[in-house]
Amino acid sequence: GLRRKRAVLAVLLHFLETYKGLLQEEESAGKVIKELYLLIMKDTSLYHELEDEIIKLHQLVETVELKVADETPPPNKQVKPLFRHFRRIDSCLQTRVAFRGSDEIFCRVYMPDHSYVTIRSRLSASVQDILASVTEKLQYSEEQSARGDALILVTMASSGEKAVLQPSEECVFTTLGINSHLFACTRDTFDSLVSSVLLLCEGLGKRAHLLKKLIKIAAICKQNQDMLSFYAIVIGLNNAAVSRLRLTWEKLPGKFKNLFRKFENLTDPCRNHKTYREVLAKMKPPLIPFVPLILKDLTFLHEGSKTLLDGLVNVEKLVGSKGGMGQRDPLGLELEASPAQLQTKAYVRQLRVIDNQNLLFELSYKLEPGSQ
């Protein structure tokens, strides 16, 4: 009835107002909205009482620039890939137009550790403009820039080929290849965007001490309920290139060997990460969960359940999604950046991380050729 349709419209309007940014950045996120939008437009002539809500919906759709495909092409005509912008009640068609330099896009700029920031920039933006946006996002300190640690912009192809972009270059986004990414780093990390702390430690005693320290850090992360960092350390130490270093592990005290075995049991993926899920259920907020597992759960839920059943929204899917993410609220703490925090950020940015498994094995065999 009318009440139910008005309720659905209210939920849709609230969703659009809340997640404008996500819908602008991720095109796939607007798929459900597009389907609901088409269904609403089919009933427009039957429910004149909903005209105010529909007008507001038009305005929000225009704001997030959702493109809704025309599903009813006229007969006896060639089907063309036109897209409909519902900018007014009369549903006028808008033809495609060429990109302009003033058009804004979202782009990911990666760091040496392969984390990234998403920036919004003009298509014609220069390298200097892009670096300014990245610097603002990262809160890169002026003191670092004064010391000559200013960021540079690098393009990296999937083949590993790198090129430094000059600050005066413009229209960077139009020159990127399909498998290329933008990296922001300092000049001293450009020659080697990748490296591994443990495998670059040549002395056996130093390496064992570093291994012990990493296990200690993992224990602190677990104690502080930072399961994302905890997983990162344990998975890194479980890398085949590290676990084969028999002499290094033998020098580790028995206490830390036993502690690491417990960590391995906790991160064991058997029975759908049963051990980890039980530990996480006992934790009280604030905590940082292992995000990849949440994304995996949501992916299975989304791919395995239909959004619409018999023309109606699948409520069970929405409830399941809420169970996965709805009970997690962001922790809004406003803390002033201390000198120690800035130094830690600078140290982490300057780390070199190897993501090439063959190179990791080469370093590992150089350290301990006879280990199995």
pLDDT of residue 69: 44
pLDDT, mean of residues 307-323: 71
Per-residue confidence band for 259, with pLDDT thresholds at 50, 70 and 90:
very high
pLDDT of residue 143: 44
Mean pLDDT, the chain, integer: 73
Q: Which domains does the chain have, with CATH numbers?
A: 2-84 (no CATH), 104-190 (3.10.20.90), 204-289+328-367 (1.10.840.10)
For the stretch 119-139, pLDDT in tens is 888 878 888 888 888 888 776
Two structure tokens written together for 79: 């089907």
For the stretch 69-108, pLDDT in tens is 444 444 443 333 333 333 333 344 444 455 566 677 788 8
pLDDT of residue 83: 35
Share of the chain above pLDDT 70, in %: 65
Question: DSSP of 163-184, one letter per residue?
Answer: EEEPTT---HHHH--TTEEEEE
For the stretch 12-52, pLDDT in tens is 788 777 776 666 555 566 666 777 777 777 766 676 777 77
Query: Taking the complete model, does pTM exceed 0.75, yes or no?
Result: no
pLDDT score of 312 more than 60: yes
Cα Rg for the chain, rounded, in angstroms? 26
End-to-end CA distance of the chain: 70
pLDDT score of 163 more than 80: no
5-9, 205-209, 262-266: lowest mean pLDDT where?
5-9
Per-residue confidence band for 67, with pLDDT thresholds at 50, 70 and 90:
very low
Helices (H), the chain: 2-18, 20-25, 31-42, 51-64, 127-138, 142-146, 172-175, 187-190, 204-223, 227-237, 240-243, 246-250, 254-266, 270-282, 291-304, 315-321, 339-349, 357-367
Residues 6+ apart with CB under 8 A from 227: 221, 276, 280, 287, 288, 289, 290
